[in-house]
Chain A
Amino acid sequence: MDADDLRGRLDPMILAVLERAPAHGYAVIEAVRARTGGEVALTTGSVYPALRRLEVAGYVTGHWSTEGGRRRRTYQLTATGRRQLVTERSRWLVFTELVGRVLERPAT
């Protein structure tokens, strides 16, 4: 799966990962990789700016913590972010439904 396939889906995917538990940037990448069986590997260069963007939009909040002697910025979904995720899920269902109709194999 390449970048074009995932264009426009990065933010909802990050929100969906954070819905389960707060996570730092690299953990988000690991979670997406694990959930997709390794088929989708987000790049660090896209995830970290996206997390900051989502923070500015008020969908997540970030705070610094230290784990294993390493400082990390952990992000948590906000109530606004949760509502945004619900909206994004609905949009995705409509999108897949409509595109599915177009791509459907003609009846023989």
Chain B
Amino acid sequence: MTGIPGSTTAPAAGPTIESYLTELASRLRGPRRFRAELVLEVRAGLEEATAALQEAKWPAGSAERQAIADFGSAGRLAADFQPSIASRAARRVGLIGVLMPILMVGWATSWAASPAGGGEYDFHYLLSDLLYLIGAALTVICVIGLYRLTDRRALGDRVLIRCRRLARLHLVVVTIFIAVAGLLTALNFDQVTQVMGHGLPLVVGLASLILMPMLWVASIGATLSAPGKQSG
């Protein structure tokens, strides 16, 4: 936990602020906005530290190198930041997932009122199909989002890795269900298709209801068990 008072000599050579920030940005994983915000904050911190050292009569080049050295390697810094990016992004993905049960209820209501479900209006039939497609798309977005925001090298948390496996299983099950439903529809197995039509939103909805809370728990767990937690 050394800082300016203990550091009297700067490294003889090292990256510039720009190259350090470029390396940091390349090592962070997650949504662009979160990454850009962190890089901006580190830039502010580096400039602040450099200015403070210069006020303490350090030469400009040495001050910059020392400020960078105090931050540590870009790889280590990225690893320390990664859990908070993952956590924020997981919450965002989870919020998208909250829409799933709402869509499923909308789908079930519309389908029941549609001709296939015994109702009278074509509009409901179209609406149920639309909700069904949006639900399936959201599932895929959630799973892809989860994969993109985590990087096993940067975040080796076991809970999060288990969630990734669950998300992958969820995606495989939904894909198989859609494929089978499509095949049966093509073969005109109307009765079976209707059962599948009921079952698909149920599978997607229930799996999402389980997956999304797990994502939140994992994201918080990953943050709290981060390698840099409470270390100086």
Contacts and interface: CB of A to CB of B under 8 A. Distances in A.
Interface of A: 1-3, 5-11, 24-26, 29-30, 33, 38, 40-46, 48-50, 52-53, 55-57, 70-73
Interface string B126-143: 000000000000000000
A59 to B, nearest CB: 11
Majority-rule SS of A interface residues: helix
Contact of A57 (B1, B38, B52, B223): B223
B81 A52 contact: yes
14 contacts: A7-B231, A10-B231, A24-B44, A26-B52, A41-B6, A42-B1, A42-B3, A44-B49, A45-B71, A46-B80, A49-B77, A53-B83, A56-B84, A70-B44
Interface in B42-86: 42, 44-49, 52, 67, 70-72, 76-77, 80-81, 83-84
Given A44-B46, A56-B223, 15 more contacts: A3-B1, A24-B44, A26-B45, A33-B3, A41-B5, A43-B2, A45-B71, A45-B77, A45-B80, A46-B80, A49-B226, A56-B84, A71-B44, A72-B44, A73-B41
Contacts, number: 116
B81 A44 contact: no
Contacts of B232: 3, 6-7, 9-10, 42-43, 46
A72 B224 CA distance: 25
B226 A53 contact: yes
Contact of B38 (A5, A40, A52): A52
Nearest to A12: B230
A64 B106 CA distance: 40
A9 B45 contact: no
A10 B76 CA distance: 17
Given A45-B77, A48-B41, A55 B84 contact: yes
